[in-house]
């Protein structure tokens, strides 16, 4: 068989496999949207959930999911950024660093249920924080850190070496080079990592069942005091997220319209993740142009 035939066959196989993956993804998203979009309305999005009566919405669950993503990123991003910069630019090549990277890989492979149970025993029981948003944010930080750290490290390493060498040759310090040259060039990759980790956080359910809880107390969105029990900004209150609400409605929901609530909430979950991806990519392009005076194709 000549090389052209081999190349043609290999290309056909690869394209077919990619087509299968894309088809499965489109089929899954289409099914969720087709079954869920008819149940969406402003009343569904802006109304609190109901435990026994029909007509409940997902207002509090949707806000809790977004709030949890923000808190988790506030905790995890600075730590992951520092760890990624250290591993990419400062870490020596020895067995200790190899062990650190291995531990990061092990941590990223832990099931979310295990992480949730660990956070439940430590924060909810041992430190008596109770079911709360902050307990859920810490639990999500544990398995969000490896993904974010590795992505930041790879993004920094992907910047061409001549940028670092040229900057050092001009007399700039290594830290100044990283902050002013390397980091701005790595922003698109870092934004991608934030998108991936945020999607995982937004759709997580198992770890949050044991940490943030399965209840959604009535919130006062006019109360901006984060120390008030009924304030929507209070991080110490229990908070049922959208993913946990979908699981709860499907498993033990007794409302007459449980299927409609589940389908509608699933559609909202998919739409929010898609919109967040597009928005984050747009922000990444703007930041890249601002810091590098370049253009993302």
The verdict on 35 and 58 lying in the same domain is no
Going from the C-alpha of 63 to that of each of 26, 31, 144, 240, 241, the distances in angstroms are 27, 25, 20, 10, 8
Beta-bridge partner residues of 243? none
pLDDT given for residue 297 in this prediction: 43
Asked whether residue 249 is assigned to any structural domain, the reply reads yes
The verdict on 5 and 124 lying in the same domain is no
Question: Would you say how long the chain is, in residues?
Answer: 297
Task: Please tell me which of 13-27, 94-108, 155-169 the model is most confident about, judged by mean pLDDT.
Answer: 13-27
The verdict on 112 and 14 lying in the same domain is no
Asked whether residue 219 is assigned to any structural domain, the reply reads yes
The verdict on 25 and 87 lying in the same domain is no
The verdict on 8 and 140 lying in the same domain is no
The verdict on 212 and 177 lying in the same domain is yes
- Asked whether residue 293 carries a pLDDT value surpassing 60, the answer given is no
pLDDT given for residue 71 in this prediction: 92
The verdict on 80 and 203 lying in the same domain is yes
Number of domains, the chain: 2
- Asked whether residue 196 carries a pLDDT value surpassing 80, the answer given is no
Asked whether residue 183 is assigned to any structural domain, the reply reads yes
The verdict on 1 and 52 lying in the same domain is no
Asked whether residue 297 is assigned to any structural domain, the reply reads no
Q: What is the mean pLDDT of residues 8-24?
A: 92
Asked whether residue 116 is assigned to any structural domain, the reply reads yes
The verdict on 2 and 85 lying in the same domain is no
pLDDT given for residue 253 in this prediction: 67
The verdict on 270 and 136 lying in the same domain is yes
Mean of the per-residue pLDDT values for the chain?
85
Per-residue pLDDT band for 295 (boundaries 50, 70, 90) equals very low
Q: What is the mean pLDDT of residues 179-206?
A: 83
pLDDT given for residue 272 in this prediction: 85
Q: What is the mean pLDDT of residues 214-223?
A: 81
Asked whether residue 151 is assigned to any structural domain, the reply reads yes
Asked whether residue 146 is assigned to any structural domain, the reply reads yes
Asked whether residue 88 is assigned to any structural domain, the reply reads yes
Structure tokens at 141: 């930080």
Structure tokens at 273: 């993740």
Domain of 15, in residue numbers: 1-39
Q: Domain of 178: which CATH number? A: 1.10.3720.10
The verdict on 163 and 192 lying in the same domain is yes
- Asked whether residue 292 carries a pLDDT value surpassing 70, the answer given is no
The model's pTM: 0.85
Q: How far apart are CA 194 and CA 14, in angstroms?
A: 29
The verdict on 64 and 145 lying in the same domain is yes
Structure tokens at 14: 């690869």
Range list of H helices, the chain: 3-36, 42-46, 59-85, 95-108, 112-119, 133-157, 161-169, 174-177, 183-202, 206-209, 242-252, 258-292
pLDDT given for residue 107 in this prediction: 82
Per-residue pLDDT band for 296 (boundaries 50, 70, 90) equals very low
Over pLDDT 90: what percentage of the chain?
18
pLDDT digits (tens, 9 = 90+) for 226-238: 888 888 888 898 8
- Asked whether residue 289 carries a pLDDT value surpassing 90, the answer given is no
- Asked whether residue 33 carries a pLDDT value surpassing 50, the answer given is yes
pLDDT digits (tens, 9 = 90+) for 49-93: 877 777 778 888 889 999 999 999 999 999 999 999 999 888 888
């Amino acid at each position: 068989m000549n090389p052209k035939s081999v190349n043609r066959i290999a290309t056909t196989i690869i394209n077919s496999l990619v087509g299968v993956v894309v088809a499965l993804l489109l089929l899954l998203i289409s099914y969720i949207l087709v079954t869920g979009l008819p149940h969406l309305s402003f009343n569904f999005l802006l109304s609190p959930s109901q435990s026994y009566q029909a007509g409940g919405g997902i207002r509090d669950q949707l806000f809790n999911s977004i709030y949890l993503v923000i808190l988790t990123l506030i905790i995890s991003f600075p730590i992951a950024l520092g760890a990624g910069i250290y591993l990419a630019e400062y870490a020596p090549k020895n067995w200790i660093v190899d062990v650190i990277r291995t531990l990061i890989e092990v941590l990223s492979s832990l099931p979310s249920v295990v992480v949730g149970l660990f956070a439940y025993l430590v924060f909810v029981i041992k430190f008596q924080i109770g079911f709360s948003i902050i307990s859920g944010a810490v639990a999500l930080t544990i398995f969000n850190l490896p993904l974010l750290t590795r992505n930041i490290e790879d993004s920094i390493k992907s910047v061409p070496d001549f940028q670092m060498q040229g900057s050092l040759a001009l007399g700039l310090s290594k830290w100044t080079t990283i902050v002013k040259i390397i980091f701005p060039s790595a922003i698109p990759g870092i934004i991608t990592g934030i998108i991936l980790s945020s999607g995982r956080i937004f759709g997580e359910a198992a770890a949050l069942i044991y940490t943030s809880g399965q209840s959604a107390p009535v919130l006062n969105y006019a109360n901006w005091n984060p120390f008030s029990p009924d304030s929507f900004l209070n991080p110490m209150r229990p908070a049922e997220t959208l993913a946990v609400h979908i699981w709860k409605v499907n498993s033990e929901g007794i409302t007459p319209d449980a299927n409609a609530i589940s389908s509608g909430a699933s559609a909202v979950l998919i739409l929010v993740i898609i919109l967040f991806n597009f928005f984050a990519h747009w922000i990444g392009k703007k930041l890249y142009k601002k810091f590098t005076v370049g253009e993302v194709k």
